[in-house]
Amino acid sequence: MMTTNYPLAVQKMFATVPTLLTATPIFKLTVTMVVKAAHVSRGSFYSHFQDIYDFIHAFEHALIEQATVSKQVLNQGIQAALVHPDPRTTYLELTTNINTQLASFQALLGPHGDPQFLDQFQAGLIDNLLATTEQAPLNHQYFQSIPADYAMPIYFSGVLAIIQHWLTKPHPEPPEVVANIIVQSRYTAAYHLFSDRPLGDDNN
């Protein structure tokens, strides 16, 4: 269930979304579907949301907010470009937070989900990290070669690609495994991800 920062009725409604999206595309959801699945009244729905689109927006925002609660872990992420971090801690909070709402993230990234959600998630990570770097002027040293507004999308597009792959697997690995994969990918150029052994050479 979503973080307890939300009223119980809202938590119940949010909790219905992954199941509803197994059969219904997100932009075909209706208020009736949500309140019936959550066992709450229409009045309860409208006391929190203007319409179904407001509900969907709030649901997606809540997921992004829950996954990016800690600025410390994002600050560790950008430092990982220069200093080898402890893979047990870097990104672990991010992947753990996502894992607590695994079904919701999977639903939004699935065939009935929101095709714009991943971009929104990346924007949330970037905004959160840039706010962190603004609070620590020393961190601007990381942006000497490429301006921050270019560096951040480049940096997090790789992180999000790993997370997207993780969340679309039939049997996702534990969050600590994915956190370690993200860390290791930060030190490996794309052309170093592949072996230099010729294709079909199984003798070595």
The span from the CA of 68 to the CA of 158, in Å, is: 17
Taking only the tens place, the pLDDT of each residue in 113-136 is 999 998 898 888 777 666 655 544
Calculate the alpha carbon distances from 183 to 61, 80, 107, 139, 187 in Å.
26, 8, 26, 19, 7
Judged on CB neighbours under 10 Å (0-12, 13-18, 19+), 67 is: buried
Q: What is the pLDDT of residue 137?
A: 45
Element (H, E) at 101: none
| Cβ proximity of 47 and 58 under 8 Å | no
Structure tokens at 177: 């495994």
| Cβ proximity of 155 and 80 under 8 Å | no
Confidence of residue 18 (pLDDT cuts 50, 70, 90): very high
The angle subtended at Cα 25 by Cα 50 and Cα 2, nearest 5°, is 60
Taking only the tens place, the pLDDT of each residue in 136-186 is 444 455 556 677 677 777 777 888 899 999 999 999 999 999 988 887 876
pTM: 0.76
Task: Look at residue 50 and tell me whether its pLDDT is greater than 90.
Answer: yes
Quote the percentage of the chain above a pLDDT of 90: 47
> What is the end-to-end Cα distance of the chain in Å, rounded?
49
| Backbone dihedral angles phi then psi of residue 28, each to the nearest 5 degrees | -110, 5
Q: What is the pLDDT of residue 130?
A: 62
Taking only the tens place, the pLDDT of each residue in 54-84 is 999 999 999 998 887 555 655 565 555 445 5
Q: What is the pLDDT of residue 40?
A: 97
- The HSE-up count of residue 115 (CA atoms within 13 Å, CB side) is 2
Phi-psi region of 174 (alpha: psi -120 to 50; beta: other; left: phi over 0): beta
Calculate the alpha carbon distances from 14 to 24, 99, 155, 180 in Å.
15, 16, 30, 30
The span from the CA of 82 to the CA of 180, in Å, is: 16
Average pLDDT over residues 20-36: 97
Q: What is the pLDDT of residue 136?
A: 47
Taking only the tens place, the pLDDT of each residue in 90-116 is 678 889 989 999 999 999 999 999 999
